[in-house]
């Protein structure tokens, strides 16, 4: 199963909206086939493992054990059900790390196997396997994506000079790591302020992927959906954001059709309306629910202090990633996040720091928010 988990990681940047899955076929303590799911619409891990076994050890497939990181699917989606493929192959046993949280499966795959006399079990390395698909699991169970918030600051917690100058607080290694975060994310969320101030593109830049660029040929990684909150309708088609042809979602609190029609928006830009809060701001919880309906598993927030702070204040962020540079800015530089509702230490958001490492000259801190 540990090998199957490692195989599943090969689809880390490519499988969404599908889960990352690996499979290993074993007969008489001999590995006869391995496979992983690479991309939605392509063969699933079990099918690829069976294909490899058929090529090298066809006589050993019958009676084999399949170790799969996620319960084999029992429904027909873009591809036929994997449970049926394993039944047809006459394997003797299927061990899944965890039950599929997708309500279309959720135990039906294992039942389908056991009904045909195949020993079907689950729970082996379940915790490790669940880490492969935190976004998929959350979307299936809570109906919102898994949300990461990326921040970069000096050692004294400043994200920019008082003038707004911020390029670059962190060094190349940290910026490359951010590109890899974008690559694994289904969507990147930013506010209009951030886009306008830096004339930012918010796209995945292959040339800045570092070591990952050696694994994936140029333009083979999909661009994440760029989600820009623009309640005041300040974006214009002339911005750099719109020169990269990949899907963009402009989010507003109410439709201003006459303003939109005055602009010649590129064909890949979509305007959507999300309900407003009492102070006429985009309801962030509603936005995440909308993205989940669009099969968005993992979201990366790359924004300024106000929007990042709003997501955190409302307990909508699962994981915080902070890049901290060995610099002191001092003065009245811009703060990391703004959370005006927090007035006492007892209200502070508590995080569990899971990882601290050096990236070149900078520190990368990964922490998860603790919920009661």
Give yes or no for a cis peptide into 272 (omega within 30° of 0): no
User: Catalytic pick from 46, 71, 176, 298?
Assistant: 46
Residue 44 is labelled as binding a ligand: yes
Residue 218 is labelled as binding a ligand: no
Residue 267 is labelled as binding a ligand: no
Residue 230 is labelled as binding a ligand: no
Residue 92 is labelled as binding a ligand: no
Chain length of the chain? 372
Residue 198 is labelled as binding a ligand: yes
Residue 182 is labelled as binding a ligand: yes
Residue 231 is labelled as binding a ligand: yes
Residue 283 is labelled as binding a ligand: no
Residue 234 is labelled as binding a ligand: no
Task: Work out whether strand 225-229 and strand 187-191 pair parallel, antiparallel, or are unpaired.
Answer: parallel
**250, 272 contact by CB (below 8 A):** yes
Residue 309 is labelled as binding a ligand: yes
**Helix (H) or strand (E) segment spanning residue 127:** helix 126-130
**What is the residue-wise DSSP string for 252-296?**
ESS--HHHHHHS---TTEEEEE--B-TTS-B-HHHHHHHHHHTT-
How remote is the C-alpha of 263 from its chain's centroid? 32
Which two three-digit tokens encode residue 111?
């039942």
In the DSSP assignment, the letter for residue 292 is H
Residue 16 is labelled as binding a ligand: no
Q: 3-state DSSP call for residue 106?
A: coil
Closest by Cα among 113, 34, 38 to 73 = 113
Residue 331 is labelled as binding a ligand: no
Q: 3-state DSSP call for residue 343?
A: coil
H helix and E strand count, the chain: 11, 16
Which two three-digit tokens encode residue 63?
């009676």
The CB-side HSE value for 9 (13 A sphere, CA atoms) comes to 9
46 catalytic? Reply is: yes
Residue 361 is labelled as binding a ligand: no
Residue 325 is labelled as binding a ligand: no
Q: 3-state DSSP call for residue 87?
A: helix
- List binding-site positions: 44, 73, 82, 152, 166, 168, 182, 198, 205, 231, 302, 304-310
Residue numbers annotated as active site: 46
- List binding-site positions for Zn(2+): 44, 73, 82
- List binding-site positions for substrate: 166, 182, 205, 302
- List binding-site positions for NADP(+): 152, 168, 198, 231, 304-310
């Amino acid at each position: 199963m540990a090998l199957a988990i490692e195989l599943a990681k090969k689809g880390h940047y490519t499988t969404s909206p599908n889960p990352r899955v690996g499979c290993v076929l074993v007969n008489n303590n001999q590995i006869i086939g391995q496979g992983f799911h690479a991309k939605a619409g392509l063969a699933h891990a079990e099918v690829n493992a069976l294909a490899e076994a058929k090529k090298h050890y066809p006589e050993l497939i019958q009676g084999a054990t399949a170790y799969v990181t996620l319960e084999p699917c029992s429904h027909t989606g873009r591809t036929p059900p994997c449970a049926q493929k394993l039944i047809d192959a006459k394997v003797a046993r299927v061990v899944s790390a965890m039950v599929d949280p997708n309500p279309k499966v959720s135990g039906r795959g294992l039942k389908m196997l056991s009904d045909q006399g195949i020993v079907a079990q689950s729970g082996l390395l379940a915790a490790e396997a669940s880490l492969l698909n935190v976004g998929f699991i959350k979307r299936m169970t809570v109906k919102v994506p898994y949300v990461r918030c990326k921040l970069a600051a000096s050692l004294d917690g400043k994200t920019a000079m008082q003038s707004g100058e911020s390029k670059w607080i962190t060094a190349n290694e940290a910026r490359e790591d951010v590109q890899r975060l974008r690559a694994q994310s289904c969507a990147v969320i930013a506010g209009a302020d951030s886009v306008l101030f830096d004339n930012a593109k918010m796209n995945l830049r292959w040339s800045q992927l570092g070591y990952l660029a050696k694994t994936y040929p140029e333009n083979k990684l999909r661009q994440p959906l760029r989600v820009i909150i623009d309640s005041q309708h300040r974006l214009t088609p002339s911005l750099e954001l719109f020169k990269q042809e990949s899907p963009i979602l402009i989010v507003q609190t109410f439709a201003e059709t006459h303003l939109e029609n005055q602009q010649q928006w590129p064909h890949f830009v979509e305007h959507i309306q999300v309900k407003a809060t009492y102070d006429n701001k985009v309801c962030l919880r509603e936005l995440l629910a909308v993205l989940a309906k669009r099969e968005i598993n993992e979201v990366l927030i790359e924004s300024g202090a106000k929007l990042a702070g709003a997501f955190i204040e409302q307990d909508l962020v699962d994981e915080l990633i902070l890049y901290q540079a060995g610099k002191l800015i001092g003065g009245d530089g811009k703060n990391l996040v703004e959370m005006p509702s927090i007035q006492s230490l007892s209200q502070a958001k508590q995080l569990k720091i899971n990882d601290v490492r050096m990236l070149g000259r900078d520190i990368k801190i990964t922490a998860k928010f603790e919920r009661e």
